Amino acid sequence: MKKREPYFFVVNVILLLIVFVGFGPSFFLRPLNDLAPLPLHLIIHGVSATAWIVAIVLQSLWIQQGKTLRHAQIGVYFSLIAPILVVSGFWVLGYATELYHADFAPLVTDAVDDGRTFRALIITGDVLQLLLFLGFVYVGYHNRRHTFVHKRAMLIASILLC
């Protein structure tokens, strides 16, 4: 068996740790805190995002272990997580737009900005992030036989998710 570099596996584990530390209090450990339950759209998005990161770690682990057939066979199913994640992400953004009344004020105005423009820019950035995520997943999946492109596209998609 050929020696494989652990870079992609290590980076994916670091991304998993970032997700668990970042979303631990508000998502994973929420039942242990005195926080209100999350709405369904946030639960679906959180579960699908977590599933993606766990899948990426497993995929890179299998490659690290030389189990490329398992990686290829199960990777087809793991790729179905991406559209669920993107759809749920747009669902979350739809609620955020309604909740925060984000709108696009003129670039030059004398009006006092109450934060709506900032929130609109955040939501716009999130839309771009979701589209880029989906684009890199597509490039990675489309180039799954070209490992140089495949693993880098999937890593970039995962970084965008974090």
pTM for the whole thing? Answer: 0.85
The low-confidence residues of the chain, meaning pLDDT below 70, are 1-3, 99-116
Q: Give me the pLDDT at residue 122, please.
A: 83
| Closest to 56 measured CA to CA, from 19, 92, 3 | 19
For 62-113, give the DSSP string.
HHHTT-HHHHHHHHHHHTTHHHHHHHHHHHHHHHHHHHHT-----SS-SSPP
pLDDT reported for residue 9: 96
Q: What is the pLDDT of residues 26-46, one digit of tens each?
A: 999 998 888 899 999 999 999
CB 52 within 8 A of CB 81: yes
Grouping H, G, I as helix, E, B as strand and the rest as coil, residue 18 is helix
